[in-house]
A and B are shown apart, each in its own frame.
Chain A
């Protein structure tokens, strides 16, 4: 199985109704691991049905296939339904390229720095 590590930590927010988390991806998402690893994010979404704000840190994400993009789209849909938000930060050029070609950057904003992404995530 291709190596991928996903770590999740809470982001402190002033507004008590918001649940914000930093999700960091390290490695590659492909057909050998994406179905299993996607469950981690679905678990967070299920535990926090409303007002969930996810900041996806792609700095160390080296590759993502079309199915992982499909999952990302699904997470976006579910989180949006609950009045939450997803943003992406520090994606490598090849990752941005894939997200652009499938049109996902028209739904999910990508920011070059963590601070910009945090500001955009929480200033809804």
Chain B
């Protein structure tokens, strides 16, 4: 199959899956670098469009923010991994150390996200849109997994390149996205 981007052919001529893992200190200071990395990785190493590269930039940022704020204490770290399957999909995992003072289980986070995705839910606050709106909308698979080894949470997000829900255009207007004050 002819690749969309010549970089893919040079770096990965056998079209194997590529996994990149990054460990960051628990500090928002480093997130602009991760956003830049994500944008360039998706643009140059996958067949996803530029629009989707920007979307994954947001997805990664939101997942990392969540891990920093709710998962790993200051002085600890978060682990971000990118797994690209050429011409097929991208999977992103973000894991925390479970050391935050108030730490939820995967099932509890899942319940919160599902509640906030519901049409009956009205978000009147400043927080709470990252996972339920941005991450959930821009992924085909979203999973919260307890990490038994350290009590942390790993969030797994996957997006397929050739998926019926894959759209090049902006999201259509959808009542579930209405914010009512």
Contact = CB atoms under 8 A, between A and B. Distances in A.
A1 B29 contact: yes
A28 interface: yes
Given A63-B57, A94-B51, A102 B133 contact: yes
B51 A66 contact: no
A110 B69 CA distance: 31
Interface string B37-51: 000000000000001
Interface stretch (A43-51, A53-61, A73-81, A111-119): A73-81
Contacts, number: 98
B126 A73 contact: yes
Secondary structure type dominating chain B contacts: helix
A95 B100 CA distance: 31
Interface stretch (B72-80, B87-95, B155-163, B172-180): B172-180
A107 interface: yes
Interface residues of A, number: 30
A58 B163 CA distance: 32
A65 B133 CA distance: 12
Contact of B181 (A69, A73, A93): A73
B170 A97 contact: yes
B181 A30 contact: no
Contact of B51 (A28, A71, A93): A93
B126 A74 contact: yes
Interface stretch (B58-66, B104-112, B145-153): B58-66
Given A73-B181, A100-B170, A101-B177, A63 B35 contact: yes
Interface residues on B, range: 20 to 34
Contacts of B113: none
A28 B62 CA distance: 14
B179 A100 contact: no
Interface of A: 1-2, 28, 30-32, 63, 65-67, 69-71, 73-74, 76-77, 80, 93-94, 96-98, 100-104, 106-107
Interface of B: 28-29, 31-32, 35, 51, 54-55, 57-58, 61-62, 65, 68-69, 124-130, 133-134, 137-138, 170-171, 173-174, 177-179, 181
18 contacts: A2-B32, A32-B28, A65-B65, A66-B65, A66-B128, A66-B130, A77-B124, A93-B51, A94-B57, A97-B171, A98-B58, A101-B137, A102-B177, A102-B179, A103-B174, A104-B179, A106-B178, A107-B179
Given A32-B29, A67-B126, A101-B133, 17 more contacts: A30-B31, A31-B28, A32-B32, A63-B61, A65-B62, A66-B65, A66-B130, A66-B133, A70-B128, A70-B129, A73-B126, A100-B177, A101-B171, A102-B134, A103-B174, A103-B177, A106-B177
